[in-house]
């Protein structure tokens, strides 16, 4: 009987003790973020949707359709066809199927021309059909500087450029 | 004899069948099985008599996929095994390939691997502690553990760009060096994290309800643990001092000072306590690695097209869940001829039938939680 009461009291006491610790957290700042309204600042390396980078002067795609990325991709989701010979070789069409992509960064690492980047900060890719996740060359055509593995800094060299605000995403790119 | 018993007696006589035992399905959609696991449990009233785990609901042909991919291409798939400790899966696979191909790794990469691996161990144990608390009804602990785990994920996101499936290690080192100031962030994290551990203790370890709930439940004797080839905290909880970081050192673990916590009786409490202390030890290792880390390259010069010499290798590491082994048979081409993963949770889960019988069905959840399964790794 006494043992039972003692255990009962012990249980109550540990509940009170735990309550004491947790109570403190009522008065501290929340660690959570109210997502759609507030957005976290992504680190530069955050792997998000691909972009085909451009030469900043001529605004031409750097890609030479060498097919390296398509061959290394484990998920087999990059498809492209090139046209032209030698230095003038450029992709005719270039498609990445983001339904299959594993965001492994292998295609970016293997690219010898620094022509593809995943440091874009575009992560809100939701769509209403599967085809909406298949991105073609126009959609992935960069509109300015994007950090890449070889050049994680801005071209001026003035520190790390934060990725463009997420969610400016697809629409802005298309316009 | 009470009236109820009398009534039962009558029913039994009428149906001429044993009313005492029945088979009950726990899962595949049970919320506390941490995935898609089906346990077939034979109940005698409230007491578990037998348990048969059914696995394979999440089989994804990992090994067969591996046989059709080049060596580098397998790395992203290894993430998807034990997704709570992806870095460790990367490491295990890359280490196997490096041993097979005889590639030496730069010093800095070795240190960073240990550092990242131990952070991953903390993160994995945190999520285990949190979900284990959730199984036992301690929701606050769950939230707190996730808060700290989230910080580790932020650190990993800063280095690898991913929060769960990192694909960060490469054959020959790491994909990239850590960004500037990252090591300082790790230090700041440890500053925050170390006082949190006693806080968890006050909420769980010192809590009498918690103690009563898990002490003396789900006992796994050392003999059974060995004969079922258990590893990791499940084995150490049964009192066997076996940790591959000490017993078969890989990487540079022989340079660090740390202890291996072991349990005494092999119950759920011991497995909990081993993991809880391992977090302390991991913090120690991370601190040592932070002070000793040298500058230099992080990726050894390796060929773009990796070919392994003909031969085979079994290489193992101590993942947060136990002995994670990779067996690769190479035939000289770009792809492995045979690729096999020894998943620690698969083996540990197989010991569940000897842990459960004799305990209440309410304890089954606690025992299952203490094994720390990740079903993507179990089913592969
Ligand atoms: S590897 Fe680079 S240059 Fe070659 S096709 Fe891919 S994106 Fe273009
Ligand atoms: S990130 Fe990986 S899966 Fe995605 S397109 Fe590149 S190589 Fe393929």
User: Residue B162 sits in a domain of what CATH number?
Assistant: 1.10.645.10
C-beta A166 within 6 A of ligand 2: no
Three-state SS string across chain B, please?
A: CCHHHHHHHHHHHHHCCCCCEEEEEECCCCHHHCCCCEEEEEEECCEEEEEEEECCCCCCCHHHHHHCCCCHHHHHHHHCCCCCCHHHHHHHHHHHHHHHHCCCCCHHHHHHHHHHHHHHHHHHHHHHHHHHHHHCCCHHHHHHHHHHHHHHHHHHHHHHCCCCCCCCEECCEECCCCCCCHHHHHHHHHHHHCCHHHHHHHHCCCCHHHHHHHCCCCCCCHHHHHHCCCCCHHHHHCCCCCCHHHHCCCCCHHHCCCCCCCCCCCCHHHHHHHHHHHHHHHHHHHHHHHHHCCCCCCECCCCCCCCCCCEEEEEEEEECCEEEEEEEEECCCCCEEEEEEECHHHHHHHCHHHHCCCCEHHHHHHHHHHHCCCHHHHHC
Q: Look at residue B18 in the predicted model and tell me its pLDDT.
A: 55
In a domain, residue B61? The reply is no
C-beta A101 within 6 A of ligand 2: yes
Number of domains in chain B: 1
pLDDT tens-digit readout, B269-325? 888 889 888 888 999 888 888 888 888 888 888 777 777 888 888 988 888 888 888
Q: How far apart are the CA of A108 and the centre of ligand 2, in A?
A: 8
In a domain, residue B224? The reply is yes
In a domain, residue B179? The reply is yes
Spatial contact of B41 and B53, defined as CB atoms under 8 Å apart: no
**Mean pLDDT for chain A overall:** 76
For residue B210, the chain A residues in CB contact (below 8 A) are 14
Could you tell me the pTM of the whole model?
Answer: 0.83
In a domain, residue B377? The reply is no
**Token couple for A35:** 């997502």
Residue bearing tokens 């060929």: B303
DSSP letter for A41, please.
P
For residue A118, the chain B residues in CB contact (below 8 A) are 161
C-beta A54 within 6 A of ligand 1: no
In a domain, residue B1? The reply is no
Q: What are phi and psi of B55, to 5 degrees?
A: -115, 175
Residue bearing tokens 């046209």: A83
- A51-174, what's its fold? Alpha-Beta Plaits (3.30.70)
Residue of minimum CA distance from atom 1 in ligand 2: A103
Q: Which ligand ends up closest to the CA of A64?
A: 1
CB contact under 8 A, B75 and A149: no
Q: Look at residue B7 in the predicted model and tell me its pLDDT.
A: 54
Q: How far apart are the CA of A80 and the centre of ligand 1, in A?
A: 9
What chain B residue is nearest to A68 in terms of C-alpha separation? B304
For A23, the enclosing helix (H) or strand (E) is: helix A2-24
CA-based nearest distance B159→chain A, Å: 7
In chain B, which residues have pLDDT < 70?
A: 1-19, 31-33
Average pLDDT over residues A18-44: 78
In a domain, residue B361? The reply is no
CB contact under 8 A, A14 and B72: no
Residue of minimum CA distance from atom 6 in ligand 2: A107
CA distances A37 to A34, A40, A125, A166, B35, Å, are 6, 10, 17, 12, 32
For residue B76, the chain A residues in CB contact (below 8 A) are 74-75, 102, 104, 106
Per-residue pLDDT band for A173 (boundaries 50, 70, 90) equals very low
Residue of minimum CA distance from atom 8 in ligand 2: A73
ipTM: 0.75
In a domain, residue B82? The reply is yes
Q: Look at residue B1 in the predicted model and tell me its pLDDT.
A: 43
pLDDT tens-digit readout, A99-142? 888 888 888 888 888 888 888 878 888 888 888 888 888 788 77
Spatial contact of A49 and A135, defined as CB atoms under 8 Å apart: yes
In a domain, residue B13? The reply is no
* Model confidence at A4: pLDDT above 50: yes
Residue bearing tokens 């769950």: B142
Q: Is B354 exposed, middle or buried (0-12, 13-18, 19+ CB in 10 A)?
A: middle
- Domain of residue B250 covers 71-349
């Amino acid at each position: 009987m006494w043992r039972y009461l003692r255990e009962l009291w012990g249980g109550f006491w540990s509940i009170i003790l735990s309550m004491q610790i947790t109570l403190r957290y009522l008065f501290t700042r929340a660690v959570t973020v109210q997502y759609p309204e507030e957005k976290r600042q992504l680190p530069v390396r955050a792997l998000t949707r691909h972009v085909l980078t451009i030469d900043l002067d001529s605004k031409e795609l750097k890609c030479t359709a060498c097919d390296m990325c398509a061959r290394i991709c484990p998920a087999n989701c990059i498809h492209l066809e090139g046209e032209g010979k030698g230095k003038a070789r450029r992709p005719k069409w270039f498609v990445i199927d983001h339904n299959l992509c594993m965001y492994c960064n292998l295609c970016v690492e293997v690219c010898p021309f620094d022509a593809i980047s995943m440091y874009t900060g575009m992560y809100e890719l939701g769509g209403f059909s599967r085809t909406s996740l298949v991105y073609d060359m126009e959609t992935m055509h960069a509109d300015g500087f994007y950090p890449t593995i070889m050049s994680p800094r801005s071209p001026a060299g003035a520190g790390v450029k934060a990725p463009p605000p997420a969610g400016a995403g697809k629409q802005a790119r298309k316009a | 004899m009470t009236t109820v018993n009398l009534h039962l007696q009558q029913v039994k006589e009428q149906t001429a069948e044993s009313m005492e035992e029945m088979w009950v399905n726990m899962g595949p959609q049970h919320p506390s099985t941490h995935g898609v696991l089906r346990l077939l449990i034979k109940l005698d009233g409230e007491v578990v008599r037998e348990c048969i785990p059914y696995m394979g609901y999440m089989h994804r042909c990992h090994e067969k996929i591996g046989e059709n991919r080049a060596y580098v291409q397998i790395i992203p798939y290894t993430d998807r095994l034990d997704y709570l400790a992806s870095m460790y899966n990367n490491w295990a696979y890359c280490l196997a390939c490096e041993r097979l191909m005889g590639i030496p790794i730069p010093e800095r990469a070795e240190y960073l691997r240990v550092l990242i691996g131990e952070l991953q161990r903390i993160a994995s144990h945190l999520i285990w502690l949190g979900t284990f608390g959730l199984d036992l009804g301690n929701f606050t602990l769950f939230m707190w553990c996730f808060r700290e785990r989230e910080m580790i994920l932020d650190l990993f996101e800063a280095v690898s760009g991913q929060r769960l499936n990192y694909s960060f290690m490469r054959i020959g080192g790491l994909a990239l060096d850590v960004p500037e100031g990252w090591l300082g962030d790790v230090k700041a994290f440890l500053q925050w994290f170390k006082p949190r551990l006693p806080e968890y203790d006050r909420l769980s370890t010192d809590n009498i309800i918690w103690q009563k709930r898990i002490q003396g439940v789900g006992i796994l004797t050392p003999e059974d643990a060995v004969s079922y080839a258990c590893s990791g905290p499940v084995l150490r909880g049964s009192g066997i001092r076996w940790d591959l970081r000490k017993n078969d050192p890989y990487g540079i673990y022989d340079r660090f000072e740390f202890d291996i916590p072991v349990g005494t009786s092999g119950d759920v409490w011991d497995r909990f306590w081993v993991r809880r202390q391992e977090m302390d030890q991991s913090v120690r290792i991370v601190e040592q690695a932070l002070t000793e880390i040298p500058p230099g390259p992080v990726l050894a010069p390796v060929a773009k097209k990796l070919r392994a010499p003909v031969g085979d290798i079994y290489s193992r590491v101590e993942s947060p869940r136990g002995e994670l082994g990779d067996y690769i048979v190479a035939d000289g081409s770009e792809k492995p001829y045979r690729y096999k993963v020894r998943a620690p949770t698969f083996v540990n889960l197989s010991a569940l039938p000897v842990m459960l019988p004799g305990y209440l069905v309410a304890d089954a959840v606690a025992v299952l939680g203490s094994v720390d399964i990740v079903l993507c790794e179990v089913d592969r």
